[in-house]
């Protein structure tokens, strides 16, 4: 173990970040595989309930250290809105992964970056230049390409659920940017864990099915993988440069294609993959442009973005 730790520490920080990002992509893909595998017996609201229950169990010891300080807030309404949006986004996302090929649902999930551009302009009042507007429009054209029928399933409602889920996730990210101005990360996570769990109870009760011990183990693993995915993603972004790490997240599309074919015999068609490529290219450009604008530069050059 010491030799392994020493070897890890000798790696360049971007190499360390890459390992964490690959672990994040792999754990996310396995999680979506479980969502699809269990989808015939456990609805999206019920799976979301188990996912949030696992997250709350992990958070309880951290919250118990100082619950009064952790839950202190001056804007409970905004926290409730963010938790509601996040919960609905998870249910819609789980539904999309159950009903669509894994690769297609993964690719549409990347549109969250595209949704962030108009939200940043209208909610956060951030200046958005013509380049990012053009990249966003091209990205949504890629999403429209993906609305063509796949070789293994039609789109329709599942694709709409995937796009709406991405929009709601973008809303939660935008809300987080607003809330971090006067709330700690721990406070945001605690409120999300508690409210997310409570909000999933009604849907879970309506679709309740008592799981077998084997299914309970898989549902628990689903929740654990969700937490592992988040932890690995955050660690990867912390270790490496964001511009280097961001493209690595798209490897989950490759993992999804491999797992989708191996386990469910899913074969995305050419138009679907073209649309996915357009989405990925546009979101990569937006990410790169954000990094460029984060560097000091003359105002004239900034205005061109």
Q: What is the pLDDT of residues 126-185, one digit of tens each?
A: 777 788 788 888 888 888 777 665 444 445 789 889 999 999 988 887 777 777 777 887
Per cent of the chain over pLDDT 70 is 90
Total-model pTM: 0.82
Above 50 in pLDDT, residue 65?
Answer: yes
131-169 burial string, b = 16+ CB within 10 Å, else e?
ebeebbeebbebbebbbeebebeebeebbebbbbbbbbb
The rounded distance, in Å, linking the Cα atoms of 48 and 60 is: 18
Q: What is the pLDDT of residues 289-299, one digit of tens each?
A: 766 665 544 44
């Amino acid at each position: 173990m010491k030799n392994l730790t020493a070897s890890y520490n000798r790696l360049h920080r971007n190499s360390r970040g890459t390992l964490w990002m690959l672990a994040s992509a792999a754990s996310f893909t396995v999680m979506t595989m479980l969502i699809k595998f269990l989808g015939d017996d456990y609805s999206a609201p019920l799976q979301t309930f188990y996912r949030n229950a696992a997250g709350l169990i992990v958070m309880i010891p951290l919250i118990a250290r100082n619950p009064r300080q952790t839950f202190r807030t001056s804007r409970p309404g905004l926290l409730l809105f963010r938790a509601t949006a996040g919960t609905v986004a998870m249910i819609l996302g789980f539904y999309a992964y159950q009903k669509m090929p894994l690769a297609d649902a993964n690719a549409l999930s990347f549109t969250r970056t595209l949704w962030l551009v108009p939200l940043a302009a209208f909610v956060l009042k951030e200046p958005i230049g013509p380049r990012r507007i053009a990249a966003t429009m091209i990205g949504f054209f890629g999403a429209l390409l993906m609305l063509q029928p796949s070789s293994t399933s039609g789109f329709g409602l599942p694709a709409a659920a995937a796009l709406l889920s991405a929009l709601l996730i973008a809303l939660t990210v935008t809300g987080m940017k607003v809330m971090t101005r006067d709330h700690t990360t721990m406070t945001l996570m605690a409120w999300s864990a508690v409210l997310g769990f409570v909000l999933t109870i009604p849907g879970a009760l309506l679709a309740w099915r008592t799981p077998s011990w084997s299914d309970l183990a898989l549902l628990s693993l689903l929740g654990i993988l969700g937490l592992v995915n988040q932890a690995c993603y955050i660690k990867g972004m912390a270790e490496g440069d964001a511009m280097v790490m961001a493209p690595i997240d798209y490897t989950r599309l490759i993992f999804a294609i491999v797992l989708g074919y191996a386990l469910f015999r899913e074969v995305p068609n050419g138009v679907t993959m073209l649309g996915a490529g357009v989405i990925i290219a546009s979101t990569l450009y937006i990410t790169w442009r954000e990094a460029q604008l984060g560097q000091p530069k003359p105002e004239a050059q900034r205005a061109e973005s």
